[in-house]
Amino acid sequence: MSKILYEFNIIWRNIMRKENESLKRKYTLQIQELRRQLVTKKAFDEDDSQREISRLKKELQFVEMQLYNSKRRTFQSKENVDSSNSNLKPTLSQKQELETENEHLQAQIDQMDAQSKSMRGAHLLGKSVSSFRGEEAGINGKSYLSSEIM
């Protein structure tokens, strides 16, 4: 009786071993296929993204050319009108005054920005390390962990 049980045990072990090997082989093949699909999908997504970037760059270039041509046409038409108009000289002096004032105001804005950044930096230095990932830390008030930074 024990010999029969022993032989059944051997047979059963062999059956289970073959079944385990079969399952292992099956799932290994599935894993390999999924890895291939993943690599292919990544490559496809990268290629698709590159095509989209290229399309957007061309579209941007087209819009910039339209803007450039529009400005050029406007400038040429103004030049034709201005050449026939002798009242241009007071306008040029006014333009120069406005440009000077604009430069002065821009310098003041830059100075105020620098002051606010230095004050914000001093404020951040006073905070504890535990608040480093808070709303006020990071770039432009965003967390360093934010995906928007990239």
Q: Render pLDDT for 88-147 as a digit per residue (tens, 0 to 9).
A: 565 777 888 888 888 888 888 888 888 877 776 655 555 544 444 444 445 555 554 544
pLDDT value of residue 1: 84
At 35-78, the pLDDT tens digits run 988 888 877 788 888 888 889 889 889 988 998 888 888 877 77
Residue 138, classified by CB atoms within 10 Å of its CB into exposed (0-12), middle (13-18) or buried (19+), is: middle
Tell me, yes or no, if the pTM score tops 0.75.
Answer: no
Give the span between the Cα atoms of 51 and 93, in whole angstroms.
Answer: 49
Give the span between the Cα atoms of 87 and 80, in whole angstroms.
Answer: 13
Give the span between the Cα atoms of 92 and 72, in whole angstroms.
Answer: 19
